[in-house]
Amino acid sequence: MKIYILLAATILATLPSIAQTDEFRKAVNLYDKEVLAPSATIFDKIADQTGKTDPHAYSLLCDVRSMVPGYENRMDAFFAEYPYSILAPQIRYAHALNLFNAEKYSEAVAQFALIKTGSLYKSQRAEYLFKKAYSHLETGDHLAASEGFGQVEKMAHSDYSAPSVYALGYIEYSRQNFEGAIGWFEKSRKDDRFKEMSTHYIFECKFMLKDYAYVIKNGRALFEAAPSDRKPHLARMISEAYLVEDDVSNAHIFYTHTLGSQSGENNRADLYFRGTLLFAVKDYKGAVENFRQMEHRTDSIGQIASYNLGYSYIQIKDKVSAMNAFKEASALGYDSKIEEDALFNYAKLAYDLNNDISGIETYLKKYTAKDKADMIYGYMAVAALRSRDYEAAVDAFDKIDELDVNMRSNYMKSNYLRANQLIRQGSYRNAVPCLKAAAYYSEKSSPFNQLARFWLAESYYRDNQFIKAREVYSDLYNLSALHGRAESWLIPYNIAYCYFKERNYAAARKWFTTYLTSENVVYRKEALLRKADCEFVEMKYKAAAAAYDEVLNEYFDVDDIYPYYQSALSYGLIDKVERKVELLANVMSASPEAEFYPEALFELGRTYAVKEDDQRAFDCFRRLAATVKDSNFVAKAYIEMGTLARNQSMFNEALGYYKTVVEQMPLSGYADDALQAIESIYQTKNDPQAYLAYIDSIGKGGVKTEDEKETMIFNAAEQIFLSENYQKTLTSLQSYKETYPQGKYVYKADFYMAESYRTLGRYEEACDSYRKVIDGGEGSFVELSMLNFADLSFRLEKWADAFMGYSSLYEAAKLPNNQYVASLGMFRSAYRNHDWSNAIKWTRHLLAGTLADDVTREAEYVLAKSCLASSMRDEAFEILARLAADKNDAYGAEAAYLLIMDCYDRGAFEEVETKVYEFADSGTGQNYWKAKCFIVLGDSFAERDDMEQAKATFESIRDAYVPSGEEDDVLDNVSFRLKRIEELANQES
């Protein structure tokens, strides 16, 4: 009030004519008593009477202080007319205070800025600077606010000194300059008005400075004295301090004081703290609840939260959510240790849940820790071995640099079992490295090693590596390997065959004899035959005849022509023609489809012809021409019948036989012989013009060109192929290729050889020949070779080769059906080769068209499994749900199993139970997958610590389940679990 009295005195000094009036004194008196409205009325009257500016300004000041509505307009008009009024600073100041009190801080700042500190009275300046600074603080201009509060703090002590010091502390606190803030708060708490809050902020600053000892020392007393609304926040800081100091018990005690006010403290920091504390006290559900509410877990705090969230999910059995949380943590680089461990855990879970190895590959590419790499691959290998995926097990073990004892044992087993799979498919070349590895890592004298080497030798043999095969077999024989086993007795037999293939017939005969004199002779007939063959090849025909007779005495079968045919040839070579005829006569009762039927029948006819038993000879040759498919033998039969007729001077009949060969089999190797015979007959008949007319009529004449000779030789071999004598086809075509290595029929020969190998079950050699056609051939044979190469590669489990073959077929196919077949082959081979991207691509390609129901289900199954292996879980389980609607086939049953596994992996054990019983009630005959589902049910009981129920579930499977084959892993899995339950029970007891 004193300010305004002094101001009135100043104004009166400028108005001597007015100052003496009673009216003005009355106005001043009212103004002094802050009766502003009447005072303003009097000042207005004086202003009207005198026309002076200052009474008018004084009246406006009264209105401003009284906050008369609309005073702002009057003020604006006044300043427009009287900008330099002596009352201007006071009017603006009063207006600024009104704005300040109305919390219109931005407008207040603007008004305060129009006032110079020196234009105000000294008694006003502290308030002016404080409120101006406070307005800056509220508008976020901390620099200007700090400057203003600092000016007040340096002035003589006033009511605004302590508030300014407190405000300076708050500004430093807001700037996170906690040390500086503590200094100001220490000063401000000397004033009773700010003692409590300054003490609180000092406490917070100490907390933010991680002075947890101070927080713990002073926290309890501060907490007890604090008002209830402040206690949750204090409790959180005290709890965190205890948590950092590893006093989890006290941390949890104070944490409980925060629970009643959580609705107001759900910012990221509070959620992070609560999650961290609950994680520390092993309240994993609570930790999950808080961590997962944190938004934008993309900073350093978020990385820690996601990492701990992952571990918390693991503890509550939700591995799917854990995988996602670890993936989030691994994508952030704030803490390198967390980043690495999170990626490791994500990779492992992605493999466990999805069979997705991309995470593991990423981890190993980024981190080169050898021990972790070995641990990862060891884990993958054992998991694959338990699921009987021996191919994946071998692949994983191969990536481990040093195998420990257990790894070596499992590596040997995986390689051996994988080799067995390959051998069953005829993939002997691929089996060789597996068997070599199995043998290398096992004791040479062990039965396992010897069995591995036995099959290694067998694989060498099947791949035509006879010397290598013999060396391994001989080593086993010298060790008396596999004594008492069936394989042991076969070793000398197999050595004999190796020598036989090497054309060392003396050694072969010796080893066949050794085998035949052993205790257990399974292949006696075969050994006797090959021993006889050795005698025959060595031109010991008498011994050969006797050896073949031994076979005939024990194993005679009229349709098994080879033994008596070979015996007959042997007798013929030692001039025992009657015995030869006796033996060959059996062929007259044999089936024309029997192997060696044309050879034996032709030889019988020739023998009759030599004996001049022309009628029987004719009977043989006529039967041969009428019944066999091989046109070469048909041609030979007609040549022989022509010769017989010619010898009997039956020239016309003879010409008929010969002309049949020339005209119907012109590309056979016997057309020239027939033509020469025709010429000879016409000369005998002294009718050369008839011969010339004949050769003109058929377009024959002159000497054959090299091309014609090549065509003739190839055609002869081709006829053998068409007669389905595939072993002889291979011999004939190989001879053609050796004669004409650059011949015009080479690729056709390769195709016929490939087809012959395929028919004989020699699939790897077939693939070799098909590849030659693909690489250099042309025409329809190439397309068919692509198809057969791809099909055989798939059968041999050479998935990459199969995919390549089908891809080539898809690009080259002229027939729409072959494109469809190629598409089928590509998605199947890509899937089995774990080439998920191509499996997905070509499955989607097929599903975009129209497919049979069974192919649609197969394609959807492959797409689902490939998506799952690519961690595309949502798409995968959407497809699996469709498949599982029908559990009557393996696709639907496995889909239902995978859905149940998903529930288990998410920790939804009650849902597991419901779905397993639904599966059991579905009536499906898919017992393997039904049993697998009940194993998951048992596991879910175990996860809930109901070991008695888990054990009962596993025992019911063990007692009732019948395995479906060697690859069935149900009982092994059950046995493993029951053993584990027994171990746990023993530990508890």
Question: Do 443-538 and 886-988 fold alike per CATH?
Answer: yes
Which residues of the chain carry a pLDDT beneath 50? Answer: 1-20, 262-264
pLDDT in the model for residue 703? 54
φ, ψ dihedrals at 618, nearest 5°: -55, -45
Euclidean distance between the first and final Cα of the chain, in Å? 91
pLDDT in the model for residue 201? 92
pLDDT in the model for residue 17? 47
Give CA 112 to chain center in angstroms. 69
pLDDT in the model for residue 260? 54
Tokens of 8: 């009135």
Contact call for residues 329 and 338 (beta carbons, < 8 A)? yes
Residue of 409, 363, 387 lying closest to 397 (CA atoms)? 409
Tokens of 929: 């997958």
pLDDT in the model for residue 816? 82
- Can you spell out the DSSP letters for 99-157? HHHTT-HHHHHHHHHTS-GGGS-HHHHHHHHHHHHHHHHHTT-HHHHHHHHHHHHHSSP
The angle subtended at Cα 914 by Cα 911 and Cα 920, nearest 5°, is 140
d(CA 430, CA 446): 24
Distances (CA, A) of 967 to 385, 391, 757, 865, 901: 11, 13, 29, 20, 21
d(CA 950, CA 981): 9
d(CA 190, CA 200): 13
pLDDT in the model for residue 21? 62
Largest CA distance in the chain: 180
Tokens of 951: 């054990």
Buried b (16+ CB within 10 A) or exposed e, 359-376: bbeebbeeeeeeeebbeb
CATH architecture of 886-988: Alpha Horseshoe (1.25)
pLDDT digits (tens, 9 = 90+) for 125-158: 999 999 999 999 999 999 999 999 999 999 999 9
d(CA 605, CA 597): 12
* CATH 1.25.40.10 at 443-538, yes or no: yes
Contact call for residues 569 and 545 (beta carbons, < 8 A)? no
pLDDT in the model for residue 710? 87
pLDDT in the model for residue 10? 42
pLDDT in the model for residue 259? 64
Residue of 357, 408, 414, 405 lying closest to 387 (CA atoms)? 414
pLDDT in the model for residue 12? 44
What are the boundaries of each domain within the chain?
Answer: 1-66, 443-538, 886-988
pLDDT in the model for residue 281? 79
Looking at the chain, how many residues does it have?
A: 989
Residue of 449, 437, 456 lying closest to 381 (CA atoms)? 437
Buried b (16+ CB within 10 A) or exposed e, 687-717: eeeebeebbeeeebeeeeeeeeebbbbbbbb
